[in-house]
Structure 1
């Protein structure tokens, strides 16, 4: 027995503990994770049975979902072909990808520098006040925000038109003028999510060793040089993880932002119509459950491919910063 232990030590391996002993040791952690596992199983994995809906011409024959599902005709990739051959396919795909790419860049950069600014404030009470103020919009629903935006952009009594006419300009009907809406949507999205995104960076900033800054001060580094050569490089792992996770949703769009805020205005469809609003309108107007499910499955598949591909690229060049 002593020889075996010696051999194991030489080989750099430890003897494997019996399953019962490992199970007993990890039982508290397993029980702690059980509620989350049940929630994911019921809410995320059990509904995945419905992935066959996009490949069927789903019809309602009775109140029984499974009966309707098995009685509906199998159409293969017909729903996907119909989506890509529609006149709006290119527009909504373009809008979804470009908006989300812009959101990712703007939100990462803006949240990072906002967190750095809050972290550098010497008055901690003021920093907490600013942080709370930035966080409040995150809890507002898009319905409330749509009315707040309407108070600014209303053609008759909007604040923005009042300022324009006061300085001698002509009022603009913003809900029929599509040229400004890409900017409006980016600004509104950044404003609503800034507080939530900042929290992640603030937690990362609190974990940076203060001795780095003390050494930099002794070497005569300015505040900007400390941020440039210490803070930003230290935040790079967090930025990498958030970027990879954001890529999973690049083929999805925030329904409330693109439907509620523009008030479902028809003249703005060319710049506000995205995949999620297209699916909603197809479902509401035509009742086409199969087409809506096909587009949703396509979104999930593209997101999975992007997040795995981005993680592989990061893992190849910097394994320590990969997500998995």
Structure 2
């Protein structure tokens, strides 16, 4: 009898918990629906990577070709350049955005005026929500060979104007700068949230012990930022074989003279898709990128697990 009463009590407590959190479950439904429709249902299309897709036959009726679609990318003579650009830029983006994001987050949280702090937070995040198409026109306004601001500045300094869209050596710096300006705000907001979550008594205790501002940052702020930094880094590493298509396609304005430093796997596949209309080839490239990204996340998470188990994702 006692066991049955205990089971009924446990069941009632579970029902009460469900009723208590029911509003939160309803709030979660739109996000779950988005993930299901946008992230999980399209996974059935992965089969296209192994088929010669024909619209009249449909996905399931198209001819199975195995790994033939992957040979388009893996046997391409431009593959070393594509890998160099895709991975190299992403490594630079991760390092620059992480370091600059942490520095800006610390500086913003040191602002005592609440209104100015909110303004700084909004300003740093604003570029993140700006369309990359608008950004490409802004860059064009600076770099246009005839009417661009940069050439006007060079002429005022007595130097010859530069045809920016024809000279590849400037573009690694340009792309890193544009990506940093547009993306650093997102990580910065995450770091600010982590800093604001630190117990204020720790800083007060450090002040009583005679610690200066730099020592507080080094021994309190940065250690508490460590889990957030590791999480952001691991998520970024998962996308290291993917590139920001808008950044590498829209910003260079499709200039063919600088493709050796602006073409990545994504832009190459897009151009090949528009030329050959081979959907299976495009699906194979995306599948390849996803698999490599997954493996990298698993490897780096395992390394993190060995070094600092409490900061690993799983």
- Is this a same-fold pair by TM over 0.5? yes
| 1:94 positional shift | 1.3
| 1:18 positional shift | 6.1
Pick the aligned partner of 2:60 from 61, 70, 79: 70
Partner of 2:37: 42
- Partners in 1 of 2:226 and 2:107 — Cα distance? 17
Q: How does 1:1-324 map to 2 (within 5 A)?
A: 22=14, 25-26=17-18, 28=22, 30-61=25-56, 67-324=57-314
- Post-superposition Cα deviations, 1:47-70, rounded to whole Å, max 9, x if no partner, equal 211111111111232xxxxx3223
- Partners in 1 of 2:71 and 2:218 — Cα distance? 49
Instruction: Between 173-182 and 162-171, report the one with greater CA deviation.
Output: 162-171
| 1:24 positional shift | 6.1
Gaps of 5+ in 1: 5-13, 62-66
- Partners in 2 of 1:50 and 1:17 — Cα distance? 47
- Partners in 2 of 1:17 and 1:267 — Cα distance? 74
| 1:316 positional shift | 2.3
- Partners in 1 of 2:12 and 2:298 — Cα distance? 35
| 1:228 positional shift | 1.3
| 1:305 positional shift | 1.1
8 Å CA contact 2:175–2:247 kept in 1: the answer is yes
- Partners in 1 of 2:95 and 2:113 — Cα distance? 29
- Partners in 2 of 1:131 and 1:34 — Cα distance? 29
3-state DSSP of counterpart to 2:146:
coil
CA RMSD of aligned residues (A): 2.1
8 Å CA contact 2:54–2:62 kept in 1: the answer is yes
CA distance 1:119–1:275, change in 2 (3 Å): same
- Partners in 1 of 2:172 and 2:8 — Cα distance? 59
Instruction: Between 250-259 and 25-34, report the one with greater CA deviation.
Output: 25-34
- Partners in 1 of 2:15 and 2:52 — Cα distance? 47
CA distance 1:279–1:17, change in 2 (3 Å): farther
- Partners in 2 of 1:126 and 1:25 — Cα distance? 42
Question: Aligned pair count?
Answer: 309
